[in-house]
Amino acid sequence: MTLKAALIQMDIAYGDPQANYRKVKDLIAEAVQHEVDVVVLPELWTTGYDLTRLDEIADKEGLESLSFLKSLAQEHHVYIIGGSVAKRTQQGVTNTMFVISHTGELLSEYSKAHLFRLMDEEKYLIEGNHSGLFDLNNHKCAGLICYDIRFPEWIRTHMLNNTKVLFVVAEWPEPRIDHWRSLLISRAIENQCYVVACNRVGSDPKNNFGGHSLIIGPWGEIIAEADKDETILYGNIHLEQVDEVRKTIPIFSDRRPDIYKL
C-alpha cells in the first residue's frame, strides 16, 4: 500500500493563532490538489515559541485547533498529522499533537514527552507521559515532537508492535540542522521504518529555523528533502518496503533485551 504525504514546511506568525489558521487552511487546500493521503504540519504551528504569552494564546483544551483540523480533514478527505499546538489544560500547557482521520475523527493525541530546556520549554510547558501510537488505515504509526528524536530508547518502545512510520513535527533551529538530518536518518535505519519529518522555516525573536523537512525510507534512503524555504514537500510511502527491509536484516528478532538492562 502506498500513502502520498504532503509536509507543510511553513513560516509561523509569532503569537498570532488567527493568522496561522488562515495560512494553514490555504496551504492544506493547495496540498490536496496533489491527491495526497496525509498532510503533516510543524510543531506549535498556531503560536510559535511565544511561550511567555501562552496564558493568552494557548488553545483552551485544544478545542479550537481540534475543530479546525477535523473540519479540514473531513472537507478534503485527508488524514492530518496536526503538527502540535499549545493546549491549555487545568494542570498547565502541553505541546500536543492531534492526529485526525480522513473522516474527521480524532485518532490520537500525543503531548511532547521530552521538554527542550534550550528553548525554555520546561518553564512554560508540562510534559506528556503517554506514547504517540496510532493506526492510520490499519497501519501502525507513531507521532514524535522535535527534541523527542534525541531519545532512541523512547522511540524503540513505539517500534516493538510493528510500527511502520514515524511522523515527526518540529521547530528545529538552523544551527543544528545537521543533527536534525543525522538523527532522523539514524532513527529510520535503526528502526527500519519510514520517517516523515516536518520542520518549520523563518525566524522568531530568538531563533532561525532550518527547514529541511524529510521523508526517509526504511533503508535510510532520502525519498524527498526540502531546503530552507517555505514549501510543501511531497513524497510516497510504500509500506510493504518496511517488511522487505525487516526480512533482509531481521533486527527485531535478533534483539537481546535480556542483556540490555541498565
Ligand X SMILES: NC(=O)CCC(=O)C(=O)O
Residues identified as active-site: 43, 112, 146
Residue 112 Cβ, how far from ligand X at the closest point, in Å?
A: 7
- Residues of this chain that bind ligand X (CB under 6 A): 43, 116, 119, 146-147, 150, 171-173, 176, 179
The Cα–Cα gap between 196 and 171 comes to 14
Name the residue with cell 492531534: 98
Decide whether 134 or 147 has the Cβ nearer to ligand X: 147
How many C-beta atoms surround the C-beta of residue 258 within 10 A? Answer: 6
Of the two residues 136 and 214, which places its CB atom closer to ligand X in the complex?
A: 214
C-alpha cell at 52: 511567555
* CA proximity to 109, closest of 137, 145, 147: 145
For the CB of residue 140, give the shortest distance to ligand X in the complex, in Å: 24
Q: Which is nearer to ligand X, 11 or 43 (CB)?
A: 43
Beta strands 201-203 and 106-111: pairing type? unpaired
12 or 80: CB nearest ligand X:
12
How far CA 192 is from CA of 159, 202, 213, in Å, comes to 9, 32, 19
Question: In this structure, are residues 90 and 61 in contact, taking their beta carbons and an 8 Å threshold?
Answer: no
Distance of closest approach, residue 86 Cβ to ligand X, in angstroms: 12
Could you tell me the smallest distance in angstroms from the CB atom of residue 30 to ligand X? 25
Q: How far is Cα 260 from Cα 215, in angstroms, rounded to an integer?
A: 30
